[in-house]
Amino acid sequence: MSQQQMQGQPMIILGEDAQRMKDKSAQEHNISAARAVAESVRSTLGPKGMDKMLVTSLGDIVVTNDGVTILEEMDIDNPTAEMIVEVARTQEDEAGDGTTTAVSIAGELLKNAEELLEQDIHPTAIIKGFNLAATQARAELDEIAVDIESDDHDVLRQIAETSMTGKGAEQHKEHLAELVVDAAQAVTVEADDGSTIVDLAFLKVETQTGRSAGDSELLNGAVIDKDATHEDMPTDFEDANTLLVDSALELDEAEADTQVSVTDPNQIQDFLDQEEKQLRELVDQIADLGADVVFCQKGIDDMVQHYLAKEGILAVRRVKRSDIEFLREVLGADIVSDLSTATEDYLGSGSVTRDEDEGLFYVEGTGDTVHGVTLLLRGSTEHVVDEIERGVQDALDVVGSAAGTGQALPGGGAPEVELARRLNDYADSVSGREQLAIEAFADSLEVVPRVLAENAGLDSIDTLVDLRSAHDGGEERAGLNVFSGDIEDTFEAGIVETASAKKQALSSASEAANLVLKIDDIISAGDLSTEGEEDAGGPGGGMGGMGGGMGGGMGGMM
Ligand code: ADP
Ligand code: MG
């Protein structure tokens, strides 16, 4: 907004209430915006959750059940609602799974906080109580968690399956879960201190459309979705010396662009000869190194392609940076930027196999120090394979962290109900208004089993009553199995989650709620609802759009 416009609207400074909100009305306003977003993803929670279809402003369609994807695609332009999207992002980055859980808990925390505010409890007391509760809950989770061995294939598979349930690969869930665990175990290394690390840097996930998800496979090494640059090049090698280059195999830009003025036709020929000589030199350098195969991140000049083919060398160009870096691990090679300084030490070794039907190269390392596996996911269409990939990525993250931390949890709301029970006990030991906030926090966690039941078409109140009484009776692992509709030991039933994702969900939910609660004053430039429209409500309607500022991209939401 320009200086001039600011001067033209003195009502901002005078506190015209359309432009500025303070204290209670600011809090109410923010809470309802944040809750609206949180509630929009709740219906996707759990295996029986629904999917959402999102239509972007360009008309692209995404069908998904994944919390963070929904929120990312929703094109939310309200600042408080953005904070909730941030919860999902943090959860996705830190834990890889549990985004809907985190967002649902954040929404419920705010709903309960609103009631406390109505009872004139100061936001500072609520925030303090929420912090105490979150810290306590995380500590209790360590006690509730079940210790598992990092190579316990069965439990890890159940964790993968639980995380993938309801994510569009139902029919092939078991196969995919096996692949996820095999993949994670293939890249599991033992650290110097004896701890287990699942190093996902050595694992690449590739997608391919056209076949069934059941044909997905785990491959040793890398898959490169490119063709040979020249049709006369050999494409299959059992044991090749491989060279990775991240610069163009062309003349330097500067040289190629140089303007030459010639006075004599011979000079043109000289110039062309000179160019060819330089290109020929590049090829000689590659051949002298003893390379059989070149993977190049940039372009390769036609002349270079031609000479390489003559030398019987396979060259692949415009390979993605991430693939070049992965090939470095797979082949035990170093990446070359300047051929003139490269030595044999830079080469890697491996087999290269061409799959002409699929247009892929399979590359497998043959040295001792090589690692790396590729999870090749297949699906009939792009929508299917994309949703499968999101599910598999979540599963890889949770399997990795379960193997790393050695902790798992029963699912189906069991930890939430158990934590609520323990937090209510803990609240008794805290005096003052913080006690009420801790109880509100406990209450908020029960949103998880409640919504799981709701989404499965079960009575949520009955379910919660049954769950509470099971936990009061000492059944720590009692959760809801939405497939049988029964309250049972969900760990035994194979519904297994990770403690790390749950801990992260508690932290990110309470941090977001606290952020929203801390705001007691909104000063807006006044054009939030009218952006891109013709004077929607005059100056008085300046903030009307904040409560539901998520129009745009959500046109097709179901
Ligand atoms: P999030 O984005 O939070 O991971 P999901 O849609 O993946 O959301 O749902 C996760 C929740 O679903 C967890 O609470 C998990 O325990 C629960 N869940 C998974 N499988 C079952 C099941 N068979 N019965 C009941 N709850 C389940
Ligand atoms: Mg999940």
The protein residue whose alpha carbon is closest to atom 16 in ligand 1 is 411
Residues ≥6 apart with Cβ < 8 Å to 482 = 46, 47, 48, 412, 452, 453, 455, 456, 458
Residue 549 has pLDDT above 50, yes or no: no
Residue 476 has pLDDT above 50, yes or no: yes
Q: Name the residue type at position 249.
A: L
Q: How far apart are CA 488 and CA 475, in angstroms?
A: 9
The DSSP secondary structure of 173-207, one letter per residue, reads HHHHHHHHHHHHHHTEEE-TTS-EEE-GGGEEEEE
Catalytic residue among 394, 397, 466, 527: 394
Residue 484 has pLDDT above 80, yes or no: yes
> Which among 274, 220, 225 is positioned nearest to 252, based on CA atoms?
274
49 lines ligand 1 (CB under 6 A): yes
106 lines ligand 1 (CB under 6 A): no
The protein residue whose alpha carbon is closest to atom 20 in ligand 1 is 162
99 is a catalytic site residue: yes
The protein residue whose alpha carbon is closest to atom 9 in ligand 1 is 46
Q: What is the mean pLDDT of residues 66-94?
A: 80
Q: How far is the CA of 40 from the centre of ligand 2 (A)?
A: 16
> Which among 308, 201, 181, 293 is positioned nearest to 238, based on CA atoms?
293
370 pLDDT band, cuts 50/70/90, is low
104 lines ligand 1 (CB under 6 A): no
495 lines ligand 1 (CB under 6 A): yes
Alpha helices for 195-264 (secondary structure H): 253-257
- In Å, how far are 219, 221, 314, 491 from 353, measured between CA atoms? 12, 11, 11, 43
The gap from C-alpha 21 to its chain's centroid, in whole angstroms, comes to 35
411 lines ligand 1 (CB under 6 A): yes
Residue 534 has pLDDT above 90, yes or no: no
- Residue 536 is predicted with a pLDDT of 35
Please compute, for residue 386, the number of CA atoms within 13 A of its CA located in the half-sphere on the CB side. 10
- Residue 86 is predicted with a pLDDT of 87
Rounded to 10 deg, the angle between the 23-42 and 79-94 helix axes is: 50
Q: How far apart are CA 526 and CA 212, in angstroms?
A: 52
Q: How far apart are CA 184 and CA 200, in angstroms?
A: 7
Closest-lying ligand 1 atom to the alpha carbon of residue 68:
2
Length of the chain: 558
pTM to 2 decimal places:
0.81
Where is pLDDT greater, at 235 or 256? Answer: 235
- Residue 162 is predicted with a pLDDT of 95
Q: β-strands 314-316, 335-336: how paired? A: unpaired
Q: How far is the CA of 247 from the centre of ligand 1 (A)?
A: 46
Least confident among 164-168, 314-318, 331-335, 386-390: 164-168
Residue pLDDT, tens place only, 94-108: 888 999 999 999 999
410 lines ligand 1 (CB under 6 A): no
Q: What is the mean pLDDT of residues 501-514?
A: 94
Phi, psi of 296, rounded to the nearest 5 degrees: -115, 135
The single-letter DSSP state of residue 222 is E
Q: What is the mean pLDDT of residues 323-337?
A: 94
The gap from C-alpha 302 to its chain's centroid, in whole angstroms, comes to 39
99 lines ligand 1 (CB under 6 A): yes
> Which among 441, 460, 465, 458 is positioned nearest to 450, based on CA atoms?
460
User: Tokens for 394?
Assistant: 């979540």
Residue 243 has pLDDT above 80, yes or no: yes
Greatest mean pLDDT among 44-53, 383-392, 402-411 lies in 402-411
Q: What is the mean pLDDT of residues 289-306?
A: 96
- Residue 259 is predicted with a pLDDT of 67
Catalytic residue among 69, 99, 188, 405: 99
User: Tokens for 418?
Assistant: 């158990």
Contacts made by residues 351-358, CB under 8 angstroms, sequence distance 24+: 351/237, 351/238, 351/239, 351/240, 352/235, 352/236, 352/237, 352/240, 352/242, 352/293, 352/314, 353/236, 354/228, 354/235, 354/236, 358/208
User: Tokens for 340?
Assistant: 């003139």
Residue pLDDT, tens place only, 111-137: 999 999 999 999 999 999 999 999 999
Ligand nearest to the CA of 91: 1
Residue pLDDT, tens place only, 168-211: 777 899 999 999 999 999 888 888 888 888 888 889 999 999 88
The protein residue whose alpha carbon is closest to atom 4 in ligand 1 is 98
Phi, psi of 91, rounded to the nearest 5 degrees: -60, -45
Residues ≥6 apart with Cβ < 8 Å to 440 = 109, 112, 113, 115, 116, 126, 129, 130
Catalytic residue among 100, 188, 405, 490: 100
